[in-house]
Amino acid sequence: MLNTFLKSFQPPAWLLAEAQQKALLLVNHVLMQEPEAMARVARHQGRSVQVVWRQFTVPLMATPAGLFEWIEAPTGLSLTPDLTLTVVEEAPLNLLQTALAGEKPQVRIEGDIQWAAELNWLVDHVRWDLEEDLSRLIGDAPAHTLVSGAKQLADALKAFVARRTA
């Protein structure tokens, strides 16, 4: 029932755009912590990738800085991306379960294989150093305590999900 509600929920356009923008800022922030990742993305500057999940479409382009930006397609024109990644699972709760189990969601890939391989490298190798970011705000020791606590909580959740799905 919750899945049905979440699947039919349509947020206002401005809120959706803002949430997508915030997610993109996070992706760029994480990339900025890894010079190797930025160098790899920069090699593909100008190439586009479209991430699709249900009715949501996120068209992105690699910039010369080795980061991503939103593609604003001119009104009336449709974008033909170099690569399209479609998340197959439509139910939000099932996706959450997959993430909690530490697995990648099933993704359908269409388009430039070399570009897809580079993005796959990013997914496998780039991680958000949350502790480093938190330490800039609250100091090293509290950041370490907070992140350790969050990891324990995540591990407990994963174990719970594994027991329920076994």
Q: Footprint of another protein on residues 20-39 (CB under 8 A)?
A: 21, 24-25, 28
Q: Are 158 and 101 within 8 A, CB to CB?
A: yes
48-53 and 56-62: which strand pairing? antiparallel
In the complex, what is the shortest distance from the CB of residue 67 to another protein, in angstroms, rounded to a whole number? 5
The answer to whether residue 14 forms part of the interface with another protein (CB under 8 A) is: yes
Contact characters 102-141, another protein, x per CB under 8 A? ----------------------------------xx----
Q: Give alpha helix (H) positions in 9-139.
A: 13-32, 35-42, 92-100, 113-125, 130-138
Q: Which of 72, 76, 124, 141 binds another protein (CB under 8 A)?
A: 72
Q: Rounded to whole angstroms, how far apart are CA atoms 113 and 67?
A: 19
Stretch that binds another protein, among 2-10, 17-25, 52-60, 120-128 (CB under 8 A): 17-25
13-32 helix and 35-42 helix, angle to the nearest 10 degrees = 110
The residues binding another protein (CB under 8 A) are 12, 14, 18, 21, 24-25, 28, 63-65, 67, 69, 72, 136-137
